[in-house]
Amino acid sequence: MTKPFSLFLALRYLKPKRTFLSLITVISILGVTLGIMVLILVISVMTGFEQELRRKVLGFDAHLVVGGETIIYDWPDRTQSVASVQGVTGAAPFVQGPVLAEFMGRRLAPKIRGIDAEAESKVTTLKDFMVAGELKLEGNETVIGSALASILGCGVGDTITVYSPGNLEQIVDEINQLEQGADKKKTAGQLREMVLPMELQVTGIFESGRYLYDSEFMLVPLHIAQEIYGLGDGVHGITVKTVHPYRAAEIRDEVYRTLGDDFRISTWMDLNRELFEAIHMERNVMFFILLFIVIVAAFGIMNTLITVTVQKTREIGILKALGARTGQIVGIFVGQGIVVGIFGTLIGLGTGIWLVQYRNQVSQWLSGVMGIEIFPKSIYQFSEIPAEIVPSDVAIICASAFLICTVAAVIPAWFAARMDPVSALRYE
């Protein structure tokens, strides 16, 4: 089967020769390869980062969070009402807030989350995050994040001292009253007794994979959190799980109709909106910024074809004199650009997917060579680099690169096709 006239000459001009033109062609292919490889790697990592973050958030947090303007005291009835809403699969009360934690002289200000372990199991997947001990919350017991345990230097079986913010505020008020001259008979010892620390035994350690959760949260029984915050039988809110996380906004409206407008109901997307919007915007910006690598490579293709046009002026003149049509001449040079684009796209696609698959190994190797941590856990909140290849994203990247390479080839091809054969052959 004979090749088309234009394709035959395009491939002939692209055959490797020991000339500067061949070097420019190789550089053009490498430019396209680099652009596509980096685009696939970055977009896949950012997509994986977003999806993994969603999974971590949905594993530790509920789909909906119901809160009131004040403490909710009738939470048993409210929880039952919420659980009866169509689309809701579970509801559980919670108390959450900051405390002062101390162990062996080390002090931190983490957050406690008071939960009913049995009810919470219907809302979140905390059991899946356990890496030591067990999710056992009975009496004065607590389960803490792995990073928090590391910072405090404690483990399963150790006892952590927890101070209530309410008691600390009370002691400050009493000191202010003393300074104003009221009840000066109180001694420092009596004031110290007002700050009643609570001893909590660590029964388990969880690791969600997100540093923010692992370094800041202590899980305690609901009644312990109520006691620490002096809530009596009240709670701060109710967590809710829905049939699907992306239906949370729709089901929220049904919950509003059940509870009334006296409550604030937030979806997991509302609570993390700024974070996800920032990631999504950064992903789009990175796509357009890195696309300029491909555009730079396209200029290399254009430069190659302009050089070919100058070198092949005589041949173009002969072809035009023999009756070659404008479309055929254009096809020769566009064909060269297309071939370069295809080779660059395929090589870039292969290397990009390979880098995505071995991203963590490459990161560790670079860290060893450069002596710096490429992906710090404390900043990115993940133990390793997440990534997810989306076929539609890869298709858009490859199609965009191929289109840019083709357009870059059309411009010099059009000027070559319009060349006057008489002018081309005048000095031959």
**pLDDT for residue 5 is more than 90:** no
Quick one: what percent of the chain has pLDDT higher than 90? 10
Listed residue (407, 404, 409, 403) closest to 335, CA to CA: 409
Q: Do residues 297 and 412 both lie within one domain? A: yes
Q: Provide the pLDDT confidence category of residue 427 given band limits of 50, 70 and 90.
A: very low
Using CA atoms, how far residue 183 sits from 1, 166, 180, in Å, is 107, 21, 9
Q: Provide the pLDDT confidence category of residue 400 given band limits of 50, 70 and 90.
A: confident
Phi and psi of 103, rounded to 5°?
Answer: -150, 120
Give the list of residues 6+ apart from residue 5 with CB closer than 8 angstroms, or none: 324, 328, 331
Total tally of structural domains belonging to the chain: 2
Give the list of residues 6+ apart from residue 187 with CB closer than 8 angstroms, or none: none
Pull the structure tokens for residue 342: 């295809």
Mean pLDDT is lowest, of 111-120, 277-286, 351-360, 373-382, for 373-382
Q: Do residues 204 and 103 both lie within one domain? A: yes
**pLDDT for residue 311 is more than 90:** no
* Residue 344, domain member (yes or no): yes
Comparing 24 with 66, the larger pLDDT belongs to: 66
Q: Do residues 299 and 414 both lie within one domain? A: yes
pLDDT of 16-36, one tens digit each? 555 555 677 777 778 888 888
* Residue 38, domain member (yes or no): yes
Strand (E) positions, 146-216? 159-163, 198-206
**pLDDT for residue 323 is more than 60:** yes
CA distance 238 to 81: 11
* Residue 250, domain member (yes or no): no
CA distance 18 to 147: 59
* Residue 248, domain member (yes or no): no
Q: Do residues 298 and 381 both lie within one domain? A: yes
* Residue 71, domain member (yes or no): no
Q: Do residues 339 and 235 both lie within one domain? A: no
Q: Do residues 145 and 290 both lie within one domain? A: no
Structure confidence at residue 366 (pLDDT): 78
Q: Do residues 421 and 279 both lie within one domain? A: yes
> What average pLDDT does this structure show over 397-424?
73
Using CA atoms, how far residue 391 sits from 43, 46, 403, 412, in Å, is 11, 14, 18, 33
> What average pLDDT does this structure show over 239-248?
88
Q: Do residues 116 and 209 both lie within one domain? A: yes
Residue type, 319: L
Structure confidence at residue 353 (pLDDT): 92
Tokens 């002969």 appear where? Answer: 318
Of 263-267, 275-279, 380-384, which one has max mean pLDDT? 263-267
Tokens 């999710």 appear where? Answer: 135
pLDDT of 104-120, one tens digit each? 888 888 999 999 888 88
Structure confidence at residue 178 (pLDDT): 56
* Residue 352, domain member (yes or no): yes
**pLDDT for residue 43 is more than 50:** yes
Comparing 130 with 52, the larger pLDDT belongs to: 130
> What average pLDDT does this structure show over 412-419?
67
**pLDDT for residue 418 is more than 70:** no
Query: By residue range, what is the domain housing residue 316?
Result: 5-53+275-425
Q: Do residues 294 and 374 both lie within one domain? A: yes
DSSP string, 370-387: HSS-SS-HHHH--SS---
Angle at CA of residue 69, ends 218 and 120, nearest 5°:
35
Q: Do residues 291 and 157 both lie within one domain? A: no
Q: Do residues 36 and 92 both lie within one domain? A: no
Pull the structure tokens for residue 202: 């660590």
Give the list of residues 6+ apart from residue 93 with CB closer than 8 angstroms, or none: 72, 75, 79, 115, 116, 119, 222, 235, 237, 238, 239
pLDDT of 206-227, one tens digit each? 988 777 788 889 999 999 998 8
Q: Do residues 300 and 204 both lie within one domain? A: no
Residue 322: CB atoms within 10 Å: 8
Quick one: what percent of the chain has pLDDT higher than 70? 75
* Residue 269, domain member (yes or no): no
> What average pLDDT does this structure show over 77-98?
90
* Residue 247, domain member (yes or no): no
Burial of 219 (0-12, 13-18, 19+ CB in 10 A): buried
Cα of first residue to Cα of last residue in the chain, in angstroms, is 35
